[in-house]
Amino acid sequence: MNATLPNSPARETPHPGPTVTGRPDRGADLRALVALVARGEEAAFDQLYDRLAGPVLGMAGRVLRDPAQSEEVAQEVMLELWRSAGRYRPERGTVLSWALTIAHRRAVDRVRAAQAAYDRDWLDAVRSYAPVFDEVAEQVELRLDQERVRRLLGSLTKGQRESLTLAYYGGCTQAQIAALLGTPLGTVKTRIRDGLIRLRDQLAVES
């Protein structure tokens, strides 16, 4: 599904991963574009689309692992950004993190919907064939571990969380993250390293 914005031509979603031009992605520029989009400025949305569509698609692809579904989710997210630009609040995070949060939420919703249908079929199998129960328990334990990791991400600093999200959900390289956030490469490397150490230590405590 390719979402078409009101009075705007359909946009083609780029391949996963942002294109880095070497120019830092300044948060102030993105905030200014969002403010214009909130007033219905289509030209501003074109620029916002070009800046965010790549990372959004990368995020969706990281979660869904399916190109077609990832493109659908990316189009849905960009349409949501067009419609909800007026609700963006800078004090809650950068424009990039806002867009990626929406992308992650929508992608996870798709996974959960598919998982719910799959779980119903699996429960039917459990009722008819008892040995399958062990496999069901293993899958439930795996999903609980994934939920715990997502919760622990909330314990990181904003910079660590944003860098790790771009790296492991968005599929970005460290150099791309530095360009997207307008942050020195060395700082990005430190945030990712320290964030991973903190996650590892927290998981060890809870084990």
Alpha helices in 39-132 (DSSP H): 42-64, 67-84, 95-128
Closest CA to 45 of 16, 88, 106: 88
Does a structural domain hold residue 13? no
Residues 11-49 have pLDDT tens digits of: 554 444 443 344 444 678 999 999 999 999 999 999 999
115/26: higher pLDDT: 115
Residues 155-203 have pLDDT tens digits of: 888 888 888 778 776 777 888 888 888 889 999 888 888 888 887 777 6
Does a structural domain hold residue 132? yes
- State if pTM tops 0.85: no
Cβ-Cβ contacts under 8 Å for 168 (sequence gap 6 or more): 62
Closest CA to 43 of 80, 73, 7, 14: 7
Backbone angles phi, psi at 139, to 5 degrees: -65, -40
**Domain of 118, in residue numbers:** 27-206
Position 96: which residue type? Answer: L
pLDDT band with cut points at 50, 70 and 90 for residue 8: very low
How many domains does the chain divide into? 1
**Joined tokens for residue 121:** 């079929």
Does a structural domain hold residue 4? no
CATH number of the domain encompassing residue 120: 1.10.1740.10
